[in-house]
Amino acid sequence: MANRARTLGNKVVYQIYVRSFQDSDGDGIGDLRGITHRLDYLEHLGVDYLWITPFFVSPQNDNGYDVADYRAVEPMFGTMDDFDELSREAEAHGIGLMLDMVFNHTSTSHEWFRRALAGDPRYLAYYKFVDAAPDATAENPGVPPTNWVSKFGGSAWEYVPSLNKWYLHLFDKSQADLDWDNPEVRAELVDVVRFWKAKGVSGFRFDVVNLISKPAVWEDDHEGDGRRFYTDGPHVHEYLQELVRESGIDDMVTVGEMSSTSIDNCVRYTNPDFHELSMAFSFHHLKVDYLNGDKWALKDPDIPELRAIFRDWQEQMTEQGGWNALFWSNHDQPRPNSRFGDVSTPDSWRRTSELLGTCIHLMRGTPYIYQGEELGMTNPDFRSIDEYRDVESKNYYEILQEEGKSAEEAFRIVSERSRDDSRTPVQWDATPTAGFTTSTPWIGVPSNHVTVNAEAEVADPSSVWSFYQGLIRLRKTEPVIQEGDVRFLPVLSDAVIAYERTLGSTRVVVACNFSGDDVAALAAGAVADGEVLVANYADVAAERGELRLRPYEVRAYVWR
């Protein structure tokens, strides 16, 4: 286990949402050559891997997560030659590429699904088709096989009149779920991984991979939306082991996105004894501001719950040999500083951004930075639903009104929860399009790009960007951060999260104040004689008495 910690614990992954990273050809959409153009920036930041969201051929109904051809580049993102150039240049910069494999479903535009719609028995068996009632019609298809709800709203089943069958789509109806029980499907996906591995890819991220194994019997869910029947399904570990073994990626960096998963399952997914994945994304900590567990019902973040979730996942995964992917945000989540802190003033924005970075980056696991997070990018200041592009956001804007919310209430909820909150262009400079494009960007640029941007921050040693660069450097130079044990500490305020890392005689204590108030954080003597390792206030010294923290303050102390 220690060897695996040394291998993964000193790495930092940077996520690139291709569409919004950098446009190189002036069409307003980010592309592969845009990534190549910014490799110097990424090397200077210090990251080791680039997780690149899907750039494969796609109708873009879900921004590329509806794949129509796994072995070809979507023209709006460039060509295969562009990818090959990116691969070569990234290697020259000492950076590995991690590709995003969407294997739970394909686009309904994929050749496999088109052949299924044509009635080809081989390809019908590639998907989860279920016969409808004999008298079903397009006008009256009857009751779907189950009452499961799609992640994007509405039924998880779509009726096909020409076949008199329903097909399962846990996401958009244009994203048909594959049948992993079919060995031909599993072999096809192994070949896809081999194809990209042969092109020099260094790692893989597997989208919602714990949903791939569906139950043998279709049942209605009278307690929820159906997820309890297909999450961490009956053969998921077996199928992952086969995928890893047959594609020869056991020694590569791999991460699985795990929806509504459990610690026990993630131990199996990531403990090297099971030969599945290197690490796992879990999302429980990003639901602490869901009222009654509903993403589309707002409440203030529950920091005691957040602390408990972090504690359980950090301590139990450590004890059982699992490995966490550490993150606050991605292309599906709002910006964390807008969500968990205060971005209303320049000072609180900076403190919040640095607090969040430190809290995650000093934990045990492999940290992920989502593009723009290192700049302190915030949710956009959009004023109308017409400024959003995301299918889920637009759907729920209507659903919330159908449930009785006013248009204003529905918009406020969407503006805080939308996946587009993190999909606005990276803010490279203060020009009108933020240096992202020479034309009109596919989605609007937040107005704060005139001050929150890479050009201003890279040159400023006191910027959020420089702070993140320091966190990355710390992970690469401090063995206790890379592979030390972790234990959460008792705190004196509900607003505080604190933990310690230990390795041999070295000990680090991290204390984070998630509030805009001065608070008592740790008992007297908790950080006595410690050397300040990280702080987001300038006037910090060793403390012998009770540790008090100022608004959105974070401190880390070290003993050697």
Q: What amino acid positions are annotated as catalytic residues?
A: 207, 257
Task: Compute the distance between CA of residue 134 and CA of residue 44 in angstroms, rounded to an integer.
Answer: 63
Distances (CA, A) of 66 to 290, 400, 424: 27, 25, 20
Give the whole-angstrom CA distance, residue 278 versus residue 276. 7
Residue 464 contacts residue 376 (beta carbons within 8 Å): yes
Tell me, what amino acid is at 217? Answer: V
Query: How far are the Cα atoms of 244, 384, 392, 393, 469 from residue 398, in angstroms, in the given order?
Result: 41, 13, 10, 9, 42
* Angstrom distance (rounded) from CA 475 to CA 486: 15
Which of 249, 252, 284, 245 lies closest to 265, judged by CA?
284
Helices then strands, each counted (H, E), the chain: 19, 22
User: Under 8 Å CB-to-CB from 178, ≥6 apart: which residues?
Assistant: 103, 104, 105, 106, 126, 127, 128, 185, 189, 212
Closest by alpha carbon to 375, among 329, 428, 326? 428
What is the residue type of 105? Answer: H
User: Are 171 and 106 spatial neighbours (Cβ–Cβ below 8 Å)?
Assistant: no
